[in-house]
Amino acid sequence: MVKVLVTGGAGFIGSNFVRYALAQHQDWHVTTLDKLTYAGRRENLHDVMDSPRHTFVHGDIADAAVAGPLVEQSHIVVHFAAESHVDRSIAAAGDFITTDVVGTYVLLEAARRAKDLRRFVQISTDEVYGSVPTGASRETDELKPRNPYSAAKAGADRLAYSYWATYDVPVIITRASNNYGPYQFPEKVIPLFVTNAIDDLPVPLYGDGGNIRDWLHVDDHCRGVDMLIEAGTNGEVYNIGGGNEVRNVDLTHRILTLLDKPLSLIQPVADRQGHDRRYALDTTKLRNMGWAPQVPFDDGLAATVAWYRDQPWWWRPIKEQDPRFREYYQTRYQGRA
C-alpha cells in the first residue's frame, strides 16, 4: 500500500484531491493532516472520512511532533496546507509566515529524515509571479510577489526547491492559477458571489472589476498534480493553468445570469491594497507532458454554481453561524452598502 500524506486535506483543493486520489488509486492509503482552521472543515471530507483507506489527523504542519512522523512514514507528500486569502494576509501577515513558511520548513526537515519518500509536492500559486501586464508567466520567470500571502508562498516555494538542491529531497513545485469548484470556502470570489446572490445580498466587486484571473477547475488541478507525482522531475517547477482569462466584472455577470439574478446586486467597493491586475500562466511545459484541462470554463462554472445552489447544508451554517466569518464580513463591508 502506497502511503500518501495530504497536508491541508480538509481545505478546498486538498479535500478535492483526497477524494480524487482515493477514487483513482486503489493501492493508496491517504492520511489527511489538517489544523481545521476556519477554512479546513471535516464536512469537506464527509463522504470519505470513514473510508478504510483514509485516516484523518487533526494537527498543525508547524508542530514537528505531529507532522514529522507522518512525513517520515510516507511515500508521497502533497503539501496543500497554507493560509491562502490575500485580504487576510494584508490584515495579519504573521499568520501567513508561520503557516506557509515555517510550516513548510517543518515538513521539509522531516522529509530529509524520511527513508522511503518518493515525492514531495510543494503546491504553490501563480501569484508568486506578481501582476503580469501582457503575455504569460513561465516557470523560469522572476518571482515578484506583491502581497504578504504571495510572498509567503514564494518563500515556501523557494525553500522547497532549496531542499532538493541542497539535500536531494525529491521535491517538485506546482504553481496553479485560480481554482474553482465545490467545497471552496465562501470568502473567495466565486462561492461568495454565488451564495450572496442566492440570498439576494450584494456582491462586492473590487474597483472597476477589470482585474483578470485565469480560472482552473479543481478537478483539472488534481489531475495535473496526480500526473506529476509519477512523471515529474525532481527540482522542477510546473505551471498548472486553465487557460480561461476572465475579467472579474464579466465573471460576476456570468454568475448572476446563471442564478437569474439582477445586475443591480453588484456593489462596487474600494479596491484591495496592492491588487494584482492580471495573472496568466504559460502551461506549455505541462501540456508537452500530456496534460490539458478537461473542464470547459462555461460548463465548470455552471456546475459549480449549481453545486452551491443545491448544497445549502454545506455553506449556510458557515455564513449564518460561524462568528469568525460573520464578524469578518460585517467588518469588511461595514458602511459600504
Q: For residue range 272-330, list pLDDT tens digits in order.
A: 665 677 888 999 999 999 999 999 999 999 999 999 999 999 999 998 876 655 655 55
Q: From CA 295, how far away is CA 108, in angstroms rounded?
A: 33
The residue count for the chain = 337
> Nine-digit cell at 298?
462555461
- Per-residue pLDDT at 98: 76
Which pLDDT does position 146 carry in this prediction? 83
The structural domains of the chain, with segments of one domain joined by +, span 2-180+215-240
264: Cβ–Cβ under 8 A, 6 or more apart, which residues? none
pLDDT computed for residue 325 by the predictor: 56
Query: Is 127 a catalytic site residue?
Result: yes
Q: Which of 126, 214, 226, 276 is catalytic?
A: 126
- Write down the catalytic residue from 149, 163, 238, 279: 149
What is the three-class DSSP state of 58? Answer: strand
Dihedrals phi, psi of 315, to nearest 5 degrees: -95, -25
Q: Which of 83, 100, 127, 220 is catalytic?
A: 127
Q: Which amino acid is at 14?
A: G
Predicted confidence at residue 271, as pLDDT, reads: 59
C-alpha distances out from residue 74 to 65, 135, 189, 235, 288, Å: 15, 39, 35, 19, 29
Q: What is the pTM of this model?
A: 0.92
- How far apart, in whole angstroms, are the C-alpha atoms of residue 66 and residue 89? 25
Q: What's residue 337's pLDDT?
A: 31
Average pLDDT across the chain, whole number: 91
Q: What percent of the chain has pLDDT over 90?
A: 76
3-state helix, strand, coil split of the chain in percent (to 5) is: 45, 20, 35
The continuous run of DSSP H or E covering 314 comes out as helix 312-321
Q: Which fold has domain 2-180+215-240?
A: Rossmann fold (3.40.50)
pLDDT tens digits, residue range 69-98? 999 999 999 999 987 666 666 666 677 777
126 is catalytic: yes
Residue stretches of the chain with pLDDT short of 70 = 84-93, 271-275, 322-337
The pLDDT score that the predictor gives to residue 330 is: 55
What's the confidence (pLDDT) of residue 90? 67
Q: Are 3 and 53 in contact (CB under 8 A)?
A: no
179, β-bridge pairs: 216
Predicted pLDDT of residue 276? 72
**Residue 50 CB-density burial (10 A; 0-12 exposed, 13-18 middle, 19+ buried):** exposed
100 a catalytic residue: no
Give bridge partners of residue 54 from the DSSP assignment: 30
